[in-house]
Chains A and B, each alone.
Chain A
Amino acid sequence: MANEHDLLRGIEDIPDPAAHLAARPPPALAEGPAEGPAEPSLTRPARERRALSATLAGLAWILLFSWGEGLRDDLGSPRVLVPLAVVAVLSGLGLLLALRPRARGLPASVRAIQALAVAVPVGFLAAAVVRSGVADPPVPLELHLRCVASALCTALVPFALAALVLRRSFLSAPAWRGAAIGSLCGLGVVVGLEAHCAPDDLRPVAAPPGPPIGAGALLGAAAGALRGRA
């Protein structure tokens, strides 16, 4: 049985069933369409402006919502500020990694995107386990649920904006790309959440911020699969 190295040597021997089409001379300019489709579509500058506006609007929403919930008293302390800054930077870098085009303008490889989509929730959970213990007495269920609701409301607008801006953006693997971007947006939401929520219990640390990341991944995958493909 031939091995994989034979591929390059022998592949040219396979004839082309559609050679007659590929060999056709290109149509004269006069024969083709005189201009593009009549349907309006965004240009690149317009899209860049839209993406910037959406990013600023999403950040503003997170900050406003957090401020409305009441910022925690110890927000300025290094113990709180440094982890939040690290999470914010990681979220931004992750989005850059997921969205920035690579060589020849092509998107990031599927492996990189899959790694990102898995690393964000797993990494967050691991960090939560390391940072916190279990509170005694336990935090009441009502507070848990309130924190989860607050987290989801914080995440709502950034997710919607991301879905709008990234519609029809993905050349391949749209579900994975949507999942990676959704979980990274969720990570950004965690910054806002922990700016006003000061639990010292593993369950609230993992649970309320968990939904934005988990929901972001799931909703992002669904949005990517349904509307993300170019």
Chain B
Amino acid sequence: MDEPALNAAMDRYACGDARAFPELHRALSARLLAYLTRMCGSETLAGDLTQETFLRMHRARSTFARGGAVAPWAYAIARNAYLDHARAQKHRNTERLPSDPGAEPPDAHGADGEAVAIASETARAVERVLLCLPASQREAFILLRYEGLSVQDAAAVLGTTATAVKLRAFRAYEALRAALEELKRRPEAERGAGRSVENRSVEKGMEKGDRPAAARPERSGRRGKGQAGVRGGADGE
């Protein structure tokens, strides 16, 4: 569904047309799920937060401005759902169980298999670094790089200025690029052991006062194969 059609659907829903909701759900659920997964590091939790987001969108539908854009509006509500969850987690200080086990390792036989394995490891490295970044940098980077929002839209979602968004995203980008360059430099044979080196650098980041979302594993409602390699817990702000 293209953006004007999506905005028109939200406009109808804001005016009380319940038939527009399935269209919105269909168009936005995957995007919001991906966004929340990147934010919190767990597909299971992101699924719950996505449902929460749609409920909040329903409650706040009357505030959707006539002729407005639904994507940044929905992302802002999703972010609020994530923040409220993170704060509640911090206050409850709940005991956590190991998170989703992650995807099965790809078949490494053959050249294609090797490329897939490298790509998978790179993605996991990015995920680990993202979850170790301060939440403000992580969310700015995610909105610009993965969700494709403009700097102005991202600033509106985050409740900050465009300059702050660019600076935060740049710092996140620097950290990620450094991690990827380190990964490339590391010879293949050391990659297995190198993962423990990366974990130590993550811990060093924690000592400096960073608030990694992956610091504690998270209670998982389901375990199964085929889930993406996404781990970690919510991060409070």
Contacts and interface: CB of A to CB of B under 8 A. Distances in A.
Contact of B34 (A22, A41, A43): A22
A229 interface: yes
Interface in B101-154: 119, 122-124, 126-127, 130, 144-146, 152-153
A76 interface: no
B38 A171 contact: no
B14 to A, nearest CB: 4
Contacts of A27: 26, 29
A230 B80 CA distance: 7
A19 B230 CA distance: 11
Interface in A92-117: 101, 103-107, 109-111
B18 A36 contact: yes
B21 A33 contact: yes
A7 interface: yes
A146 interface: no
B73 A17 contact: no
Given A26-B26, A26-B27, A11 B145 contact: yes
A46 interface: yes
Contacts of B80: 171, 229-230
Nearest to A42: B62
B69 A35 contact: no
A10 B177 contact: yes
Interface in B61-81: 61-69, 72-73, 76-77, 80
B146 A39 contact: no
Interface in A1-53: 1-2, 4, 6-7, 10-22, 24, 26-29, 32-37, 39, 41-47
A171 B76 contact: yes
Contacts of A110: 155, 159-161
Contacts, number: 181
Nearest to A1: B174
Contact of B56 (A24, A26, A105, A230): A230
B126 A44 contact: no
A13 B177 CA distance: 9
Interface residues of B, number: 72
B67 A105 contact: yes
B76 A17 contact: no
Interface of B: 13-16, 18-19, 21-23, 25-27, 29-31, 33-34, 37-38, 43, 54-56, 58-69, 72-73, 76-77, 80, 84, 119, 122-124, 126-127, 130, 144-146, 152-153, 155-161, 166-167, 169-170, 173-174, 176-177, 180, 228-230
Given A14-B126, A110-B161, A169-B63, 13 more contacts: A4-B167, A6-B170, A7-B173, A15-B123, A17-B123, A18-B38, A35-B21, A41-B61, A104-B153, A109-B161, A171-B73, A172-B76, A230-B56
17 contacts: A7-B170, A14-B126, A17-B126, A17-B130, A21-B228, A24-B30, A35-B18, A39-B55, A42-B62, A47-B62, A105-B68, A106-B72, A168-B63, A169-B60, A171-B77, A172-B159, A230-B63
Interface of A: 1-2, 4, 6-7, 10-22, 24, 26-29, 32-37, 39, 41-47, 101, 103-107, 109-111, 168-169, 171-173, 176, 229-230
